[in-house]
Amino acid sequence: MIYDFVAKKGQKIENFLFVGFYLLKWVNDYKNITKQETGSVGSLFYVWIISINLALVCFVILAFQNFS
């Protein structure tokens, strides 16, 4: 969804096959574009931040369970 938003706003989108390499750039572009247009950061940015942090917490919990 962030990819589509950034692409529609005219930002140059590199090869879609390398999504992992460009994901942080697209999220940063999304944050900057929405902040310029509306004065606040778009909701997809917060969804992305929460999901990344939740995945990290789950990984840490799983790692501690497996090593205990």
All structural domains of the chain with their residue ranges: 2-67
pLDDT digits (tens, 9 = 90+) for 2-59: 878 888 888 776 676 777 788 888 899 999 999 999 999 999 999 999 999 999 999 9
* Three-state secondary structure call for residue 8: helix
Predicted structure pTM score: 0.76
* Three-state secondary structure call for residue 67: helix
Q: Quick one: how far is CA 13 from the chain centroid?
A: 15
Instruction: Supply φ then ψ for residue 14, to 5 degrees.
Output: -75, -175
* 11 in Cβ contact with 36 (< 8 Å): no
